[in-house]
């Protein structure tokens, strides 16, 4: 019986892949949106396993919270736009399937043939101890995002806030009743 | 022990599932949901790399993958807002969001 992080990883991975398939394949768009919420929650579980607690909380707040509600509102405002009898897939869906399977096999082959794939390992506790960040990743992430003196990502952070402002203004202008 | 290999394969599978949805769904909101799946797959890959290669280097503990994931979440939320506003605006004009029927610019 493998240890608990491995079992948790594979259980969450099955939930992730299953909910992603449900989002992509379901005919009813509302059910697909609800499976998208499940997908976002399970991805947050993966981030907790990978020592990214802050990313997990941000994922739940922004993705499972805001983006899911946005998608549901958009579905609500565009209801009856497509009849439920219509085929939800475009004409050449089989070609898209072939392309995606070829791409997946290619990426998996490239990942497997790398020397790093089995040497490096992900462990929920060992990497935390080795990194010396006994209090988690959020302190280091704050230093990386905000520090004005050391090596930091403060400029992309400020530009990201401008991107959000532009997105707010743009979404309001585009979605106006006019 | 969860290897980096497992995390990368999971990211690749999720990305390809999202890509299939983005290429083959006809509902515009469905395409947007598939794009969100692709972005989350990229996030999983990045956080997996950040968790594997974290070490005390010359510049401190290296969490570049997590920083990148924060920015991807930010930009994806902004993009989802703008894209859904566009879909609602298109629905008001054309009364459809079937991307097979929004083909005025098709040659």
Number of domains in chain A: 1
Contacts B99 to A, Cβ<8 Å: 90
Q: Residue A71: list chain B partners with CB under 8 A.
A: 29, 32-33, 36, 80, 84
Q: Which of B5, B33, B53 sits opposite A112 (nearest CB)?
A: B5
User: Residue B28, class by beta-carbon neighbours within 10 Å (0-12 exposed, 13-18 middle, 19+ buried)?
Assistant: buried
Is the pLDDT score of B44 beyond 90? yes
CATH number of the structural domain spanning residue A38: 1.20.120.1200
Q: Is A77 exposed, middle or buried (0-12, 13-18, 19+ CB in 10 A)?
A: middle
Q: Tally A–B CB contacts below 8 A.
A: 277
Establish if B103 belongs to a structural domain. Answer: no
Residue B80 domain boundaries: 4-94
Task: Pick A160 or A86 by higher pLDDT.
Answer: A160
A22 close to B (CB below 8 A): no
Q: Does the residue B99 lie in any domain? A: no
Whether residue A143 and residue B77 make contact (CB cut-off 8 A), yes or no, is no
- Residues A162-173 pLDDT 10s: 999 999 999 999
pLDDT band at A119 (very low <50, low <70, confident <90, very high): low
Test the A interface: residue of B77, B89, B99 with most A CBs within 10 Å = B77
B18-21 long-range Cβ contacts below 8 angstroms, 24+ apart: B18/A20, B18/A24, B19/A96, B19/A99, B19/A100, B19/A103, B20/A24, B20/A96, B20/A97, B20/A100, B21/A23, B21/A24, B21/A25
CA B68 to chain centre: 13
The domain spanning residue B44 has which CATH number?
1.10.287.3510
Q: What is the pLDDT of residue A30?
A: 93
- Name chain B contacts of A162, Cβ cutoff 8 Å: none
Q: For A1-60, what is each residue's pLDDT tens digit?
A: 777 888 899 999 999 999 999 999 998 899 999 999 999 999 999 999 888 899 999 999
pLDDT at residue B23, as a whole number: 93
* ipTM over cut 0.85: yes
Residue B10 lies in a domain: yes
How many domains are there within chain B?
1
Give the C-alpha separation, B49 to A170, whole Å. Answer: 34
Domain span at residue A65 reads: 4-174
């Amino acid at each position: 019986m493998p240890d608990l992080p491995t079992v948790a990883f594979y259980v969450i991975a099955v939930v992730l892949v299953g909910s992603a398939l449900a989002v992509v394949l379901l005919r009813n768009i509302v059910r697909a949106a609800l499976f998208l919420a499940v997908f976002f929650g399970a991805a947050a579980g993966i981030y907790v396993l990978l020592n990214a607690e802050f990313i997990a909380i941000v994922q739940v707040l922004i993705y499972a919270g805001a983006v899911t509600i946005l998608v549901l509102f958009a579905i609500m405002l565009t209801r009856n736009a497509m009849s439920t009898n219509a085929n939800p897939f475009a004409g050449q869906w089989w070609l898209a399937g072939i392309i995606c399977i070829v791409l997946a096999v290619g990426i998996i082959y490239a990942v497997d043939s790398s020397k790093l794939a089995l040497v490096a390992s992900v462990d929920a506790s060992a990497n935390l101890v080795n990194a010396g960040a006994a209090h988690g990743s959020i302190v280091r992430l704050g230093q990386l995002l905000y520090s004005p003196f050391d090596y930091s990502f403060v400029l992309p952070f400020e530009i990201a806030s401008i991107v959000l402002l532009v997105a707010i203004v743009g979404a309001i202008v585009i979605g106006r009743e006019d | 022990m969860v290897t980096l290999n497992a995390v990368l394969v999971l990211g690749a599978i999720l990305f390809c599932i999202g890509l299939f949805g983005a290429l083959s769904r006809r509902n515009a909101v469905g395409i947007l949901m598939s794009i969100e799946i692709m972005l989350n797959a990229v996030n999983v890959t990045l956080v997996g790399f950040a968790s594997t290669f974290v070490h005390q280097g010359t510049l401190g503990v290296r969490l570049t993958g997590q920083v990148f994931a924060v920015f991807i979440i930010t930009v994806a939320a902004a993009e989802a807002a703008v894209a859904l506003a566009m879909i609602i605006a298109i629905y008001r004009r054309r009364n459809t969001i079937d991307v097979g029927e929004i083909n005025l610019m098709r040659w």
